[in-house]
Amino acid sequence: MNKGTDAQSNRGFEQVSKSPRNKGQFTSPNNEPLGKPIGVRLPPSLEDWINEEAKKQGVNKGNLIRNLLAETKYYRSQQSS
């Protein structure tokens, strides 16, 4: 079984090692502790966009999605005020 080069197999570890932590726990961009993981099925076009955008911004997909959700929450709360 071919697992690829070391660089390819370590990509996930590199992203995890760069993730913010608080007392060994992963944290969200606003330093709030993270809850349980959720799974979401996406259409291929949206998944492709997320992959491209995460690569452009130099972040992993999870951080990108958390940031986008946080921005959406903020803007919607501003509209309802």
| Domain spans of the chain, in order of start | 42-81
> Considering the entire predicted model, what is its pTM?
0.60
Half-sphere exposure of 78 (CA within 13 A, CB side): 6
Rounded Cα distance between 7 and 27, Å, is 25
- pLDDT for 9 equals 44
Q: What is the pLDDT of residues 4-62, one digit of tens each?
A: 444 444 444 444 555 555 555 555 556 678 889 999 999 999 999 999 999 999 999 99
Give the pLDDT score at 34: 80
